[in-house]
């Protein structure tokens, strides 16, 4: 079979693939011929079933919840009329709009990029077979693997028969399930759980580990748990779902906790126990591309795989943070190196977030990670009760934690639990990336009163007790 | 001394002068024995001294630098 020849073949058409295709097009002024092979809706996870619909649902849910729970004296509770079906119609319409505006229309401006629908697998290091409507073989002088990941579903007795949703299918809901079990209390489970809770569902989260968000600071996992439980979420830690099934009035879930085994009834089960890379059917062996024990592709910091001329980017890569932002950056790094421009991925200053309300965001090392590596560290935790803006808003549950290298006071990690944490964390990203010290933060003007001032107070708490400090002290 | 033939795909060339400029740029790299650049196919056939230069090193010659109009990737590494 004659294969179609391209300068660059990209497996996948999600965030990593798009950023790689656009970077290669820009570098060559549209001269590079690029094949982008993909399956399912264009744009991949983020726009279709990931960041975009989840953040839409969360925003809508907070609008429904917060007016019912005012936090300032004299402001009465009101219950906005919520039509969940219409919210979901709005969500799907927004996803369609975002996919069209940010992906379909964008790629039309790049006539050098050919979209080929189907699943690709390697025939050799440079040739890919495509199983799809147009089928055939495609060859590239260079190749990028950007096939992303998919939700995993644990083997639980009766779960399949009972039926369940994942982050791939939740967005098709039209009616609010009134009682929901969430298996897996990671970022995705907590976001979906709080969204449904805020719309009025009873939500129970079952998590195998002994804390929420163990990749972050334990104080934040603890504070978030308290907040969610305060809102009515039931959270079982160190717990395991042993079986599930259909019951007379819905579905049952059987959970084993330290207190024993118990059953509860729900209308819907949501599985959010993690994701696995879409690498199993790529036939990576013939291309000599090595993976780790989880099937994630091993790359260096230039995104080169073990096979010369083959790069990888995005959620299929062996790393610890799986984010749209990193996928996009890795696509750019891969292409830059392919064209001889040296670039390296910097996972150390990557920001991550959980879009609950209040939000969680982090960058750099936690206190424990730094101590483990260096034997000692210095950190301060600022309770938002000490921050004027937060306390006047009635939002004092949160905190800002800064970890510094005691040798030079340079900030090595920042973790925030606060409204707008996803915006404030950028200050931490600059600090970690550029090696700013706590003195740099203190000397930089912050608006008073603002939530971002929490970062400055956390920095000041390295030099004085801020709980006894006037808000005018610099 | 072993030599290797490397084929580069070169972008940004519009005329024979471009091809000459790119060829000169490649030849200026130590370890490049010969460079034949074809503006019509947008390729460069480069003979390199194996021990002195790698195919990827060719992409880092100043003629393909960040500010340059010309860019290249490795089409065939030998
Ligand atoms: C519910 C949820 C919420 C999220 N929220 C956020 C957030 O708020 N912020 C954030 O930064 N990140 C978030 N993420 C993570 C983010 O969505 C991913 O990190 C990002 O989309 C990964 O992009 P990618 O290009 O690597 O993979 P994908 O976008 O998954 O793209 C891979 C593409 O490859 C295709 N494919 C698979 N196998 C093959 C094959 N053999 N041949 C051809 N094509 C193939 C797939 O169908 C898909 O289209 C979220 C994820 C989820 C699930």
All domains of chain B in start order, with CATH:
3-77 (3.30.70.100)
Segments in chain B below pLDDT 50: none
> Do A269 and A242 belong to one domain?
yes
Residue whose structure tokens are 């990737």: B73
d(CA B62, CA B78): 22
> Do A253 and A286 belong to one domain?
no
A124 Cβ contact partners less than 8 Å away, ≥ 6 residues apart = A286, A287
A470 found inside a domain: no
Per-residue pLDDT of A273-289, as tens digits, reads 999 999 999 999 999 99
The SS3 call for residue B61 is coil
CB A436 within 8 A of CB A411: yes
Range of the domain at A257: 159-273
Mean pLDDT over A363-384 rounds to 93
| For ligand 1, atom 5: residue with the closest CA | A51
A90 found inside a domain: yes
Nearest to A457 by CA among A386, A362, A360: A386
DSSP lists the bridge partners of residue A284 as: none
A353 found inside a domain: no
A472: confidence class by pLDDT, cuts 50, 70, 90: low
Query: Counting beta carbons within 10 angstroms of the beta carbon of residue A158, is it exposed (0 to 12), middle (13 to 18) or buried (19 or more)?
Result: middle
- The sheet with strand B43-49 has its strands ordered as B32-38, B43-49, B3-11, B71-76
Structurally, chain A folds into a number of domains equal to: 3
> Do A246 and A139 belong to one domain?
no
Per-residue pLDDT of A156-172, as tens digits, reads 999 999 999 999 999 99
Is it the case that residue A1 has pLDDT exceeding 80? no
d(CA A275, CA A91): 23
CB A218 within 8 A of CB A306: no
> Do A145 and A166 belong to one domain?
no
Question: Which residue, A348, A366, A393, sits at the end of a domain?
Answer: A348
DSSP code for A333:
H
| CATH number reported for the structural domain that contains residue A374 in this entry | 3.30.390.30
Question: Which residue, A348, A366, A401, sits at the end of a domain?
Answer: A348
| CATH number reported for the structural domain that contains residue A25 in this entry | 3.50.50.60
A155: confidence class by pLDDT, cuts 50, 70, 90: very high
CB A358 within 8 A of CB A69: no
Nearest to A197 by CA among A357, A353, A394: A357
- The two tokens of residue A428 are 């931490």
- Across the interface, whether the CB atoms of B59 and A339 are under 8 A apart is answered yes
- Which chain B residues contact residue A29 at CB under 8 A? 11-12
Looking at residue A376, what is its pLDDT?
Answer: 81
CA–CA min distance A6, chain B (Å): 10
> Do A198 and A303 belong to one domain?
no
Cα angle at A423 between A419 and A429, to 5 degrees? 125
Distance (Å) of CA A142 to CA A9, A261, A296, A304, A413: 6, 54, 20, 11, 37
Q: Could you tell me how many CB contacts below 8 A there are between chain A and chain B?
A: 43
A469 found inside a domain: no
- Which chain B residues contact residue A139 at CB under 8 A? none
Is it the case that residue A469 has pLDDT exceeding 80? no
- Across the interface, whether the CB atoms of A142 and B11 are under 8 A apart is answered no
B6 Cβ contact partners less than 8 Å away, ≥ 6 residues apart = B45, B46, B47, B48, B55, B58, B74, B76, B77, B78
Distance (Å) of CA A352 to CA A325, A362, A364, A416: 9, 5, 10, 11
Mean pLDDT over A139-146 rounds to 98
Residue of chain B whose Cα is closest to the Cα of A5 = B75
- The two tokens of residue A405 are 């290298």
Mean pLDDT over A289-314 rounds to 98
Closest Cβ–Cβ partner in A29, A141, A340 for B60 = A340
More confident site: A259 or A56: A56
Is it the case that residue A377 has pLDDT exceeding 90? no
The mean pLDDT value of chain A amounts to 96
Looking at residue A133, what is its pLDDT?
Answer: 87
Nearest to A150 by CA among A314, A18, A4, A17: A314
Is it the case that residue A346 has pLDDT exceeding 70? yes
- Across the interface, whether the CB atoms of B56 and A340 are under 8 A apart is answered yes
Is it the case that residue A299 has pLDDT exceeding 70? yes
A473 found inside a domain: no
Is it the case that residue A207 has pLDDT exceeding 70? yes
Looking at residue A215, what is its pLDDT?
Answer: 85
Looking at residue B8, what is its pLDDT?
Answer: 98
Tell me if chain B has a CB within 8 Å of the CB of A125: no
> Do A258 and A316 belong to one domain?
no
> Do A169 and A264 belong to one domain?
yes
CA–CA min distance A27, chain B (Å): 7
Nearest to A416 by CA among A375, A377, A373, A387: A387
> Do A380 and A459 belong to one domain?
yes
> Do A61 and A76 belong to one domain?
yes
- Across the interface, whether the CB atoms of A31 and B42 are under 8 A apart is answered yes
A474 found inside a domain: no
> Do A431 and A292 belong to one domain?
no
d(CA A336, CA B71): 11
Question: How many CB atoms lie under 10 A from the CB of residue A161?
Answer: 10
> What secondary structure, in 3-state letters, does A426-469 show?
HHHHHHHHHCCEHHHHHHCCCCCCCCCHHHHHHHHCCCCCHHHC
A13 Cβ contact partners less than 8 Å away, ≥ 6 residues apart = A36, A37, A38, A42, A43, A44, A103, A115
- Percent over 70 (pLDDT), chain A: 98
A230 found inside a domain: yes
CA–CA min distance A31, chain B (Å): 6
d(CA A39, CA A131): 10
The SS3 call for residue A197 is helix
- Dihedral, CA atoms, A243, A247, A249, A255, nearest 10 degrees? -20
Looking at residue A468, what is its pLDDT?
Answer: 67
Looking at residue B78, what is its pLDDT?
Answer: 78
Looking at residue A473, what is its pLDDT?
Answer: 63
Residue of chain A whose Cα is closest to the Cα of B72 = A339
Phi-psi region of A118 (alpha: psi -120 to 50; beta: other; left: phi over 0): left
> Do A281 and A138 belong to one domain?
yes
> Do A197 and A282 belong to one domain?
no
* Ligand 1: centre distance to CA A48 (Å): 9
Beta strands in B1-78 (DSSP E): 3-11, 32-38, 43-49, 71-76
| For ligand 1, atom 53: residue with the closest CA | A50
- Percent over 90 (pLDDT), chain A: 94
* Ligand 1: centre distance to CA A35 (Å): 19
Residue whose structure tokens are 């083997």: A155
């Amino acid at each position: 079979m004659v294969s179609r020849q391209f300068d660059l073949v990209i497996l996948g058409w999600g965030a990593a693939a798009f950023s790689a295709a656009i970077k290669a097009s820009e570098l060559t002024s549209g001269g590079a011929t690029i094949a982008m092979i993909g399956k399912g809706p264009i744009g991949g996870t983020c726009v279709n079933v990931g960041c975009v619909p989840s953040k839409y649902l969360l925003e809508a849910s907070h609008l429904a919840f917060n007016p019912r729970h005012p936090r300032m004296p004299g402001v009465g509770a009101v219950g906005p009329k919520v039509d969940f079906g219409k919210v979901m119609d709005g969500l799907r319409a927004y996803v369609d709009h975002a996919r069209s505006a940010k992906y379909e229309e964008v790629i039309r401006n790049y006539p050098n990029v050919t979209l080929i629908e189907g699943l690709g697998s390697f025939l050799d290091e440079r040739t890919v077979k495509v199983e799809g409507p147009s089928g055939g073989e495609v060859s590239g002088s260079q190749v990028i693997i950007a096939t992303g990941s998919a939700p995993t579903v644990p083997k639980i007795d009766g779960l399949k028969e009972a039926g369940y949703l994942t982050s791939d299918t939740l967005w098709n809901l039209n009616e609010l399930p009134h009682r929901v079990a969430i298996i897996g209390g990671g970022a995705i489970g907590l976001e979906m759980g709080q969204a449904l809770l805020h719309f009025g569902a009873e939500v129970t989260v079952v998590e195998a580990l002994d804390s929420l968000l163990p990749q972050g600071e334990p104080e934040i996992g603890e504070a978030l748990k308290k907040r969610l439980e305060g809102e009515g979420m039931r959270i079982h830690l160190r717990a395991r779902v042993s079986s599930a099934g259909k019951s007379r009035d819905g579905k049952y879930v059987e959970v084993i906790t330290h207190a024993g085994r118990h059953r509860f009834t729900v209308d819907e089960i949501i599985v959010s126990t993690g994701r696995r890379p879409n690498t199993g059917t790529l036939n990576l062996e013939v291309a000599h591309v090595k993976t780790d024990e989880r099937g994630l592709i091993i790359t260096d910091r230039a995104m080169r795989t073990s096979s010369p001329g083959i790069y990888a980017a995005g959620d299929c890569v062996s790393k610890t943070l799986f984010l749209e932002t990193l996928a996009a950056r890795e696509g750019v790094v891969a292409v830059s190196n392919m064209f001889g421009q040296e670039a390296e991925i910097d996972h150390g200053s990557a920001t991550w977030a959980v879009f609950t309300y209040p939000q969680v965001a982090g960058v750099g090392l936690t206190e424990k990670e730094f101590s483990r590596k260096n034997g000692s560290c210095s950190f301060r935790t600022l309770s938002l009760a000490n921050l004027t803006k937060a306390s006047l808003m009635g939002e004092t549950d949160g905190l800002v934690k800064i970890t510094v290298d005691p040798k030079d006071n340079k900030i090595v990690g920042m973790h925030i639990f606060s409204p707008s944490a996803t915006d404030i964390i950028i200050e931490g990203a600059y600090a970690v990336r550029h090696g700013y010290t706590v003195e740099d933060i203190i000397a930089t003007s912050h608006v008073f009163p603002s939530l971002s001032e929490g970062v400055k107070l956390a920095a000041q708490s390295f030099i004085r007790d801020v709980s006894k400090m006037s808000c005018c002290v610099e | 001394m072993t030599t290797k033939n490397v084929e580069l795909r070169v972008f940004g060339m519009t005329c024979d002068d471009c091809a000459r400029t790119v060829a000169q740029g490649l030849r200026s790299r130590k370890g490049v024995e010969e460079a034949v650049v074809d503006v019509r196919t947008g390729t460069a056939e480069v003979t390199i001294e194996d021990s002195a230069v790698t195919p990827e090193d060719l992409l880092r010659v100043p003629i393909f630098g960040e500010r340059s109009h010309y860019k290249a990737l490795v089409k065939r590494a030998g």
